[in-house]
Structure formats: structure tokens, C-alpha cells
Amino acid sequence: MNPHKVMVLKQTLPATLLFLTLLLSAIAPCQPNDSLDASAHLPYDTAAVELKTYVENSKVPLNRRVIFVVELSWAGDMSRYHLLPISQPVLTNLMIEGSGSANRLEELPGGRYRSIRSFTYRLSPVALGMAYIEGLEIRYQDPGTGEVNSLISQRVSVQVIDPLPDSSDNVPPFIYLLLLGVFFSAIAYFLVRYFKTRQAAVQAPEREIPLAEQYLKILAHDVDPRGTNLREMALETARIFREYLSKQYNISTREASAGEIVDHLRSAGVSEEELRRMEEALQKWDLIKFAGADIGPAEFTNLYEVVKNFLEPRAHGF
């Protein structure tokens, strides 16, 4: 090679290298960087699982409940992690009354969400003093890789203090006195009302039962319209009716004939229709009693109805 060309090359080489270096530096920011891009868009659901445990109140009365909450959360869908069964917490001076669980999503900036799973335990204090909830081991699995990890909560302490008074203990004494006063006043009122009612009933005059009503009851008691001994029942009906007429209208019905009885009743204002039926009945009774005439069921029913129809309106004041 020509020595002169070699010399020129040696003189220009550093400048050329410097130019190339500057050129590459200028071009490099314009090229895509896969590693940076990938790191800037890492899936948000690969964030760690967070565990939080707490009690709603660190001091709880003996007659109240301790609310213990276990809360796990992670960025991403609820199905991002699978929680393995959680054992019951180990308790000191506490008893489990019940438990429950809940899921919710919390919105994060950028349209992302945080999944939150919470477990709530209702605990009952046993005695005054300190109570403890030992640490829980929470195990969760990544469904994609099958990897199982665990978290252990811290021990939680609760102070059990004196029980709160029941609501009934807060009632002022005068309320009880007022209630007793109302109670005894009510008893006194009903007693006074009872004795007044009873006294009024004793002093009230008894209702005078009309004579017709009395004999209507005697007729219903002594005479059976469905009886088989019709002659005897017919004569008993006549006896009851004559006895009533004798007392009501002052008639000597034993000696008076049917006509005399009818005339007396006519003067007393009895209607002609009633008198006609009554005269027929009185004559039939005389035939049965003195002549031994027979009587059939229809005739007996007719005699019975004559007496009943005569007594009923007068028994009711008509």
C-alpha cells in the first residue's frame, strides 16, 4: 500500500470513529427498547398478596362481642389467587359464636381493581382480663404456576372489661312506681264497676212474666204434639187453656159452657175469628171428655194450634 495513503487513513480514523459514535448516539433513542417497554407494562396482578387482621375494638365489655376481621387483598381479578382452607383461630379467653366472609372490588387509578376477601369472626368473651387471638397462617396458590405461598398474621390482644348495664337497669325508679300505680288503678276501677253492676242487678225489679207466657211454657212442657195418647194430650191441653182463661179473664171455666165462655171473652174484646175457633175447640173438648169421642192426629194438632196461637201474641204483649 502507498505509504502516503496509510498515513492519511491513520489521520482520519479517529475522526471517523467519533462521527460514527455520535451518529449511533443520535439514532439510539429513536429505536424501540423491548426490555424497557416490557417492564413498563408488567401485569398489575402479579403484585403481592397483602394480609391485614384487626379487631373493631381493643376493649370490649364482658357482655358484648369481639369482632375479629381477616382481610386479604391483591391487585387484579378475584380469581388471580386461590385461597386454601383457613383453620379456625386459636383463642384465649374467647369463644367463637359465628363467622362469615365477603368479597369486594376496590377501584384503583388507571381503571384497575384491587380484589379484597374478608373473613369476620364473632367472638364471645369468657371472663374479665386479657384475651388473645393467635396468629393465623393464610396459604394461597397461584393457579397459573401452582406455587403455594403463605402469610402469618400477628397475635391480636383484646382487653375484656366490666359488662355494660342492661337497658332495663337504666329505667328510672319512678317509672316502676308509675306502672304500679296504673296497674292498681285499673284493678280498682274494674272492682268498683263490678260491684256497682252487681248492686244494680240486685236492686232492679224482676221483669214480670205475662200470664200468657207462663202458660205457653206450661203447654210446651206438659203436652207433646207428637205424642201417641192423643185423647189424654187433648184433655191436658183443654185443662191448661181453661185454667189460663179463668185467671186471665176471671171466668169460672169449670161450670161455664162453651157459649158462656165465648160470650164473656167477646165482652173482653177478643176478636170474632179467635172466638169462632175457640168455640169449636171447646165443643170438641166437651165431646171428648163427656161423650168419649175419638180424636185423630189432625184434630189434635188443630186443637193444640188454637191454644198456642191464642197465647203467643198475648205472651209478647200484642
Q: Is the pTM of this model over 0.75?
A: no
Q: Give the bridge partners for 112, in sequence order.
A: 108
Instruction: Give pLDDT, residue 27.
Output: 44
Instruction: Output the pLDDT for position 115.
Output: 94
CATH entry 3.40.50.970 includes domain 44-161: no
Beta strands in 126-258 (DSSP E): 129-133, 137-141, 148-152, 156-161
How does strand 59-61 pair with strand 156-161?
parallel
Task: Tell me which residues of the chain have a pLDDT lower than 70.
Answer: 1-47, 167-171, 201-207, 318
pLDDT digit string, tens, across residues 194-216: 888 887 766 656 667 888 888 88
* pLDDT of res. 60: 95
pLDDT in tens, 212-260: 888 889 988 888 877 778 888 889 988 998 899 888 888 887 777 888 8
pLDDT of 98: 92
C-alpha cell of residue 26: 443520535
C-alpha angle 212/213/216, rounded to 5°?
Answer: 85
Q: What is the pLDDT of residue 197?
A: 83
Q: What pLDDT is recorded for position 206?
A: 65
Helix (H, G, I), strand (E, B) or coil at 289: helix
CA distances from 17 to 23, 25, 31 (A): 10, 12, 21
Mean pLDDT of the chain: 81
Show me where the domains of the chain are located. Answer: 44-161, 211-315
